Amino acid sequence: MVFFFPKEGIINAPKPNSLMQFYALEDPEKLVENAFAYARRNAKTKRTRVSVIQHRKEKVVHRMELFHKYLDDQLNHLFISIPQIDNLHPFYKELLPETIEVVKIKQAASQIVSVRKLLKKQFHMAKAAFYHSSPDALTHMKKESSRFFGRSADIMKSLKKNVVLLREANQKLKEVPIVRTDIPTLVLAGFPNTGKTTLLKRLTGAKAKIASYPFTTQSLQLGYFSMRYREVQVMDTPGLLDQINREWNPIEKKALAGLRHLATAVVFVIDPTPHSGYSIEIQNQLYENLRTQFKVPFILVLNKCDISSPEQLEAAHAIFGVDAVREGEGMESSLKDKVWRALGFGR
Ligand SMILES: Nc1nc2c(ncn2[C@@H]2O[C@H](COP(=O)(O)OP(=O)(O)OP(=O)(O)O)[C@@H](O)[C@H]2O)c(=O)[nH]1
Ligand SMILES: [Mg+2]
Protein backbone atom coordinates (compact mmCIF):
# COMPACT_ATOMS: atom_id res chain seq x y z
CA MET A 1 0.00 0.00 0.00
CA VAL A 2 1.35 3.41 -0.90
CA PHE A 3 0.97 5.90 1.88
CA PHE A 4 0.77 9.50 0.78
CA PHE A 5 1.91 11.75 3.52
CA PRO A 6 0.67 15.32 3.14
CA LYS A 7 3.41 17.75 2.31
CA GLU A 8 1.84 20.51 4.32
CA GLY A 9 -1.19 20.59 6.57
CA ILE A 10 -3.13 18.84 9.23
CA ILE A 11 -2.65 15.13 9.86
CA ASN A 12 -4.71 12.65 11.80
CA ALA A 13 -3.97 12.07 15.44
CA PRO A 14 -3.31 8.51 16.64
CA LYS A 15 -6.38 6.73 17.99
CA PRO A 16 -6.77 8.24 21.42
CA ASN A 17 -6.67 6.44 24.73
CA SER A 18 -6.41 2.89 23.52
CA LEU A 19 -3.23 2.25 25.48
CA MET A 20 -4.10 3.46 28.93
CA GLN A 21 -7.11 1.40 29.89
CA PHE A 22 -7.32 -1.45 32.36
CA TYR A 23 -9.22 -4.57 31.39
CA ALA A 24 -12.82 -3.91 32.42
CA LEU A 25 -13.53 -6.64 34.93
CA GLU A 26 -17.09 -7.49 35.96
CA ASP A 27 -18.06 -7.34 39.62
CA PRO A 28 -16.55 -10.31 41.48
CA GLU A 29 -20.00 -11.77 42.30
CA LYS A 30 -20.98 -11.64 38.65
CA LEU A 31 -17.68 -13.21 37.66
CA VAL A 32 -18.24 -16.08 40.03
CA GLU A 33 -21.70 -16.61 38.53
CA ASN A 34 -20.24 -16.56 35.04
CA ALA A 35 -17.51 -18.99 36.06
CA PHE A 36 -20.15 -21.36 37.45
CA ALA A 37 -22.23 -21.19 34.30
CA TYR A 38 -19.16 -21.68 32.13
CA ALA A 39 -18.02 -24.70 34.15
CA ARG A 40 -21.49 -26.25 34.12
CA ARG A 41 -21.81 -25.80 30.37
CA ASN A 42 -18.43 -27.20 29.53
CA ALA A 43 -17.67 -29.91 32.08
CA LYS A 44 -17.26 -33.23 30.27
CA THR A 45 -20.22 -35.53 30.36
CA LYS A 46 -19.04 -38.46 28.27
CA ARG A 47 -18.57 -41.56 30.32
CA THR A 48 -15.62 -43.78 29.48
CA ARG A 49 -14.80 -47.17 30.97
CA VAL A 50 -15.04 -46.08 34.56
CA SER A 51 -17.52 -46.68 37.32
CA VAL A 52 -20.46 -44.29 37.83
CA ILE A 53 -18.85 -42.93 40.98
CA GLN A 54 -15.50 -42.46 39.27
CA HIS A 55 -17.21 -40.72 36.36
CA ARG A 56 -19.05 -38.37 38.67
CA LYS A 57 -15.86 -37.61 40.52
CA GLU A 58 -14.04 -36.75 37.29
CA LYS A 59 -16.93 -34.57 36.22
CA VAL A 60 -16.88 -32.57 39.45
CA VAL A 61 -13.11 -32.16 39.30
CA HIS A 62 -13.40 -30.99 35.70
CA ARG A 63 -16.08 -28.51 36.70
CA MET A 64 -13.87 -27.13 39.46
CA GLU A 65 -10.99 -26.92 37.03
CA LEU A 66 -13.02 -24.95 34.49
CA PHE A 67 -14.41 -22.70 37.21
CA HIS A 68 -10.90 -21.96 38.43
CA LYS A 69 -9.53 -21.47 34.92
CA TYR A 70 -12.28 -19.00 34.03
CA LEU A 71 -11.54 -16.82 37.07
CA ASP A 72 -7.79 -17.15 36.66
CA ASP A 73 -7.97 -16.07 32.99
CA GLN A 74 -10.07 -13.04 33.85
CA LEU A 75 -7.69 -11.97 36.61
CA ASN A 76 -4.74 -12.53 34.33
CA HIS A 77 -6.27 -10.27 31.66
CA LEU A 78 -6.77 -7.61 34.28
CA PHE A 79 -3.26 -7.97 35.68
CA ILE A 80 -1.49 -7.69 32.35
CA SER A 81 -3.57 -4.66 31.40
CA ILE A 82 -2.16 -2.71 34.36
CA PRO A 83 1.04 -1.12 33.08
CA GLN A 84 4.13 -1.24 35.22
CA ILE A 85 4.08 2.43 35.96
CA ASP A 86 7.79 2.48 36.87
CA ASN A 87 8.68 1.27 33.37
CA LEU A 88 6.64 3.82 31.47
CA HIS A 89 7.96 6.83 29.56
CA PRO A 90 8.99 9.58 32.04
CA PHE A 91 6.10 11.73 30.77
CA TYR A 92 3.55 9.16 31.95
CA LYS A 93 5.49 8.50 35.14
CA GLU A 94 5.05 12.14 36.02
CA LEU A 95 1.53 12.56 34.64
CA LEU A 96 -0.16 9.45 36.04
CA PRO A 97 0.18 10.37 39.73
CA GLU A 98 -1.69 13.59 38.87
CA THR A 99 -4.51 11.57 37.32
CA ILE A 100 -4.90 8.31 39.26
CA GLU A 101 -3.90 6.98 42.66
CA VAL A 102 -0.76 5.17 41.58
CA VAL A 103 0.03 3.61 44.97
CA LYS A 104 -3.48 2.17 45.23
CA ILE A 105 -3.28 0.83 41.68
CA LYS A 106 -0.02 -0.93 42.57
CA GLN A 107 -1.69 -2.39 45.67
CA ALA A 108 -4.60 -3.57 43.53
CA ALA A 109 -2.17 -5.27 41.14
CA SER A 110 -0.48 -7.10 43.99
CA GLN A 111 -3.85 -8.14 45.42
CA ILE A 112 -4.72 -9.67 42.06
CA VAL A 113 -1.51 -11.70 42.23
CA SER A 114 -2.29 -12.97 45.71
CA VAL A 115 -5.93 -13.73 44.87
CA ARG A 116 -4.78 -15.81 41.91
CA LYS A 117 -2.41 -17.72 44.22
CA LEU A 118 -5.14 -18.30 46.80
CA LEU A 119 -7.60 -19.55 44.18
CA LYS A 120 -5.00 -21.89 42.78
CA LYS A 121 -4.26 -23.24 46.24
CA GLN A 122 -7.96 -23.86 46.89
CA PHE A 123 -8.26 -25.73 43.63
CA HIS A 124 -5.24 -27.95 44.31
CA MET A 125 -6.42 -28.67 47.85
CA ALA A 126 -9.90 -29.63 46.65
CA LYS A 127 -8.49 -31.78 43.86
CA ALA A 128 -6.15 -33.58 46.25
CA ALA A 129 -9.02 -34.18 48.69
CA PHE A 130 -10.99 -35.77 45.85
CA TYR A 131 -8.28 -38.15 44.78
CA HIS A 132 -7.60 -39.19 48.34
CA SER A 133 -11.23 -39.89 49.12
CA SER A 134 -12.60 -43.42 48.89
CA PRO A 135 -14.34 -44.14 45.58
CA ASP A 136 -17.81 -44.24 47.09
CA ALA A 137 -17.56 -41.22 49.36
CA LEU A 138 -20.20 -39.20 47.53
CA THR A 139 -21.12 -37.03 50.50
CA HIS A 140 -17.50 -36.23 51.10
CA MET A 141 -17.16 -35.19 47.45
CA LYS A 142 -20.14 -32.88 47.63
CA LYS A 143 -18.84 -31.28 50.79
CA GLU A 144 -15.40 -30.75 49.28
CA SER A 145 -16.72 -29.24 46.06
CA SER A 146 -19.13 -26.85 47.78
CA ARG A 147 -16.35 -25.83 50.13
CA PHE A 148 -14.12 -25.11 47.13
CA PHE A 149 -16.76 -23.05 45.31
CA GLY A 150 -17.73 -21.18 48.49
CA ARG A 151 -14.15 -20.34 49.45
CA SER A 152 -13.29 -19.27 45.92
CA ALA A 153 -16.34 -16.98 45.87
CA ASP A 154 -15.24 -15.44 49.20
CA ILE A 155 -11.71 -14.89 47.92
CA MET A 156 -13.11 -13.21 44.82
CA LYS A 157 -15.36 -10.99 46.93
CA SER A 158 -12.28 -9.58 48.67
CA LEU A 159 -11.36 -8.02 45.30
CA LYS A 160 -14.51 -5.92 45.11
CA LYS A 161 -12.99 -2.67 46.37
CA ASN A 162 -10.08 -2.84 43.97
CA VAL A 163 -12.25 -3.74 40.99
CA VAL A 164 -14.24 -0.57 41.67
CA LEU A 165 -11.01 1.40 42.10
CA LEU A 166 -9.66 0.21 38.75
CA ARG A 167 -12.94 0.95 37.04
CA GLU A 168 -12.93 4.51 38.38
CA ALA A 169 -9.29 4.89 37.35
CA ASN A 170 -10.28 3.85 33.81
CA GLN A 171 -12.64 6.80 33.66
CA LYS A 172 -9.87 9.19 34.71
CA LEU A 173 -7.39 7.59 32.32
CA LYS A 174 -9.58 8.58 29.41
CA GLU A 175 -8.15 12.06 29.71
CA VAL A 176 -4.54 10.85 29.50
CA PRO A 177 -3.45 11.46 25.93
CA ILE A 178 -1.46 8.94 23.97
CA VAL A 179 1.57 10.87 22.96
CA ARG A 180 3.99 10.19 20.17
CA THR A 181 7.56 10.21 21.34
CA ASP A 182 9.06 9.65 17.88
CA ILE A 183 8.33 13.15 16.54
CA PRO A 184 9.09 16.63 17.90
CA THR A 185 6.55 18.20 20.21
CA LEU A 186 5.59 21.83 20.37
CA VAL A 187 4.08 22.68 23.75
CA LEU A 188 1.68 25.62 24.02
CA ALA A 189 2.02 27.34 27.38
CA GLY A 190 0.88 30.54 29.02
CA PHE A 191 -1.56 32.01 31.49
CA PRO A 192 -5.19 30.87 31.42
CA ASN A 193 -7.46 32.40 28.78
CA THR A 194 -4.65 33.76 26.60
CA GLY A 195 -5.68 31.75 23.53
CA LYS A 196 -3.59 28.54 23.61
CA THR A 197 -6.42 26.26 22.54
CA THR A 198 -7.45 28.67 19.81
CA LEU A 199 -3.90 28.42 18.48
CA LEU A 200 -3.93 24.60 18.74
CA LYS A 201 -7.06 24.54 16.59
CA ARG A 202 -5.60 26.97 14.12
CA LEU A 203 -2.38 25.00 13.72
CA THR A 204 -3.76 21.48 13.76
CA GLY A 205 -7.53 21.54 13.33
CA ALA A 206 -7.86 19.60 16.60
CA LYS A 207 -11.33 19.58 18.08
CA ALA A 208 -10.99 21.24 21.47
CA LYS A 209 -13.07 23.41 23.72
CA ILE A 210 -12.48 27.16 23.66
CA ALA A 211 -14.21 29.51 26.08
CA SER A 212 -13.89 32.99 27.44
CA TYR A 213 -13.24 31.88 31.00
CA PRO A 214 -9.95 30.72 32.54
CA PHE A 215 -9.00 27.04 32.97
CA THR A 216 -11.23 25.86 30.12
CA THR A 217 -8.54 23.30 29.34
CA GLN A 218 -8.08 20.95 32.29
CA SER A 219 -6.00 18.28 30.67
CA LEU A 220 -3.49 17.90 27.88
CA GLN A 221 -4.78 18.01 24.32
CA LEU A 222 -2.97 17.01 21.19
CA GLY A 223 -3.02 17.98 17.56
CA TYR A 224 -0.72 17.23 14.64
CA PHE A 225 0.42 19.02 11.53
CA SER A 226 3.06 18.45 8.96
CA MET A 227 5.43 20.85 7.31
CA ARG A 228 7.68 19.91 4.46
CA TYR A 229 7.19 16.18 5.13
CA ARG A 230 7.99 16.55 8.84
CA GLU A 231 5.34 15.68 11.39
CA VAL A 232 4.93 17.86 14.44
CA GLN A 233 2.94 17.06 17.56
CA VAL A 234 1.34 20.05 19.26
CA MET A 235 0.38 19.82 22.90
CA ASP A 236 -2.09 22.29 24.37
CA THR A 237 -1.77 22.60 28.13
CA PRO A 238 -3.93 23.95 30.93
CA GLY A 239 -3.11 27.54 31.87
CA LEU A 240 -0.27 28.12 34.31
CA LEU A 241 -0.26 30.80 36.96
CA ASP A 242 2.94 32.33 38.15
CA GLN A 243 4.29 30.25 40.97
CA ILE A 244 5.26 32.73 43.65
CA ASN A 245 5.29 31.27 47.15
CA ARG A 246 3.07 28.36 46.26
CA GLU A 247 3.10 24.81 44.92
CA TRP A 248 1.91 24.09 41.38
CA ASN A 249 -1.65 22.80 41.50
CA PRO A 250 -2.61 19.34 40.08
CA ILE A 251 -3.92 20.80 36.80
CA GLU A 252 -0.78 22.85 36.30
CA LYS A 253 1.35 19.78 37.02
CA LYS A 254 -0.06 18.14 33.89
CA ALA A 255 1.22 21.06 31.82
CA LEU A 256 4.60 20.78 33.53
CA ALA A 257 4.85 17.05 32.73
CA GLY A 258 4.44 17.93 29.04
CA LEU A 259 6.97 20.74 29.28
CA ARG A 260 9.52 18.63 31.12
CA HIS A 261 9.38 15.41 29.14
CA LEU A 262 8.00 16.12 25.69
CA ALA A 263 8.70 19.71 24.70
CA THR A 264 11.15 20.07 21.84
CA ALA A 265 10.14 23.72 21.79
CA VAL A 266 7.62 25.87 23.64
CA VAL A 267 5.20 28.39 22.18
CA PHE A 268 4.47 30.88 24.94
CA VAL A 269 1.17 32.64 24.30
CA ILE A 270 0.77 36.19 25.55
CA ASP A 271 -2.43 38.22 25.86
CA PRO A 272 -1.52 41.93 25.66
CA THR A 273 -5.10 42.94 26.52
CA PRO A 274 -6.73 42.89 29.96
CA HIS A 275 -9.15 40.30 28.49
CA SER A 276 -7.53 37.26 30.13
CA GLY A 277 -7.15 39.12 33.42
CA TYR A 278 -3.35 38.92 33.77
CA SER A 279 -1.02 41.88 33.38
CA ILE A 280 1.78 41.83 30.86
CA GLU A 281 4.34 42.05 33.69
CA ILE A 282 3.01 38.98 35.44
CA GLN A 283 2.93 37.06 32.15
CA ASN A 284 6.56 37.98 31.69
CA GLN A 285 7.38 36.62 35.17
CA LEU A 286 5.91 33.27 34.22
CA TYR A 287 7.75 33.34 30.89
CA GLU A 288 11.10 33.95 32.62
CA ASN A 289 10.28 31.32 35.24
CA LEU A 290 9.60 28.69 32.56
CA ARG A 291 12.63 29.66 30.52
CA THR A 292 14.93 29.06 33.46
CA GLN A 293 13.29 25.71 34.20
CA PHE A 294 13.03 24.28 30.69
CA LYS A 295 16.08 24.53 28.50
CA VAL A 296 14.42 24.32 25.09
CA PRO A 297 13.79 27.03 22.47
CA PHE A 298 10.87 29.35 23.31
CA ILE A 299 8.79 31.10 20.68
CA LEU A 300 6.63 34.04 21.74
CA VAL A 301 3.19 34.63 20.29
CA LEU A 302 1.48 37.94 20.87
CA ASN A 303 -2.15 36.96 20.66
CA LYS A 304 -5.38 38.95 20.39
CA CYS A 305 -3.72 41.73 18.39
CA ASP A 306 -7.10 42.36 16.75
CA ILE A 307 -8.48 43.70 20.02
CA SER A 308 -5.27 45.20 21.45
CA SER A 309 -4.84 48.95 21.58
CA PRO A 310 -1.60 50.45 20.15
CA GLU A 311 -0.53 51.22 23.75
CA GLN A 312 -1.10 47.64 24.84
CA LEU A 313 0.92 46.35 21.89
CA GLU A 314 3.70 48.80 22.59
CA ALA A 315 3.82 47.75 26.24
CA ALA A 316 4.03 44.09 25.19
CA HIS A 317 6.80 44.83 22.70
CA ALA A 318 8.71 46.79 25.32
CA ILE A 319 8.76 43.74 27.57
CA PHE A 320 8.94 40.84 25.13
CA GLY A 321 10.78 42.50 22.25
CA VAL A 322 9.64 42.79 18.67
CA ASP A 323 10.65 39.26 17.87
CA ALA A 324 7.33 37.85 19.04
CA VAL A 325 5.02 36.44 16.37
CA ARG A 326 1.94 38.64 16.10
CA GLU A 327 -1.54 37.28 15.81
CA GLY A 328 -3.15 38.36 12.57
CA GLU A 329 -2.69 37.81 8.89
CA GLY A 330 0.41 35.82 7.97
CA MET A 331 0.77 34.68 11.56
CA GLU A 332 0.74 30.98 10.73
CA SER A 333 3.54 31.12 8.19
CA SER A 334 5.82 33.26 10.35
CA LEU A 335 5.10 31.02 13.34
CA LYS A 336 5.82 27.89 11.32
CA ASP A 337 9.09 29.39 10.10
CA LYS A 338 10.15 29.91 13.69
CA VAL A 339 8.93 26.45 14.64
CA TRP A 340 10.95 24.94 11.80
CA ARG A 341 14.11 26.51 13.17
CA ALA A 342 13.28 25.87 16.82
CA LEU A 343 12.74 22.19 16.14
CA GLY A 344 16.17 22.02 14.58
CA PHE A 345 14.92 21.19 11.07
CA GLY A 346 17.22 23.76 9.50
CA ARG A 347 17.41 27.38 8.52
N1 LIG B 1 -10.22 38.60 19.78
C2 LIG B 1 -9.51 37.51 19.96
N3 LIG B 1 -9.94 36.61 20.84
C4 LIG B 1 -9.20 35.49 21.00
C5 LIG B 1 -8.00 35.24 20.28
N6 LIG B 1 -7.48 34.05 20.68
C7 LIG B 1 -8.35 33.58 21.62
N8 LIG B 1 -9.36 34.43 21.81
C9 LIG B 1 -10.49 34.29 22.77
O10 LIG B 1 -9.96 34.18 24.08
C11 LIG B 1 -10.73 33.28 24.87
C12 LIG B 1 -9.83 32.20 25.45
O13 LIG B 1 -9.35 31.40 24.39
P14 LIG B 1 -8.82 29.92 24.62
O15 LIG B 1 -8.21 29.45 23.35
O16 LIG B 1 -9.86 29.06 25.25
O17 LIG B 1 -7.69 30.22 25.70
P18 LIG B 1 -6.77 29.21 26.55
O19 LIG B 1 -5.46 29.87 26.71
O20 LIG B 1 -6.78 27.88 25.88
O21 LIG B 1 -7.56 29.17 27.91
P22 LIG B 1 -7.46 28.07 29.09
O23 LIG B 1 -7.72 26.74 28.48
O24 LIG B 1 -8.53 28.48 30.02
O25 LIG B 1 -6.09 28.21 29.68
C26 LIG B 1 -11.81 32.75 23.96
O27 LIG B 1 -12.98 33.51 24.17
C28 LIG B 1 -11.26 32.99 22.56
O29 LIG B 1 -12.29 33.15 21.59
C30 LIG B 1 -7.58 36.25 19.34
O31 LIG B 1 -6.54 36.15 18.69
N32 LIG B 1 -8.38 37.34 19.24
MG1 LIG C 1 -7.36 26.07 26.62
Provide the residue ranges of all domains of the chain, joining segments of one domain with +: 28-173, 185-342
239 lines ligand 1 (CB under 6 A): yes
Rounded Cα distance between 198 and 57, Å, is: 70
Ligand 1, atom 6, residue with closest C-alpha = 195
CA end-to-end distance (rounded Å), the chain: 34
| Inter-residue contact 227 to 11 (CB < 8 Å) | no
217 lines ligand 1 (CB under 6 A): yes
28 lines ligand 1 (CB under 6 A): no
Atom of ligand 1 nearest to the CA of 236: 20
Closest ligand relative to 201 C-alpha: 1
Atom of ligand 1 nearest to the CA of 200: 15
Q: What predicted TM-score, i.e. pTM, was given to this entire model?
A: 0.81
Q: Is the dihedral of CA 88, 94, 98, 104 positive or negative?
A: positive
**The two domains 28-173 and 185-342 share their CATH topology (first three levels equal):** no
Q: Any idea which fold 28-173 has?
A: Four Helix Bundle (Hemerythrin (Met), subunit A) (1.20.120)
Give residue-wise pLDDT tens across range 62-109: 999 999 999 999 999 999 988 888 888 999 999 999 889 999 999 999
Q: Strands of 105-179 (E only): list them.
A: none
283 lines ligand 1 (CB under 6 A): no
Confidence check: pLDDT of 17 > 70? no
| Inter-residue contact 226 to 7 (CB < 8 Å) | yes
The domain made up of 185-342 is a member of CATH 3.40.640.10: no
Give residue-wise pLDDT tens across range 225-275: 998 889 999 999 999 887 766 788 888 899 999 999 999 999 999 999 999
- For residue 49, the model assigns a pLDDT of 66
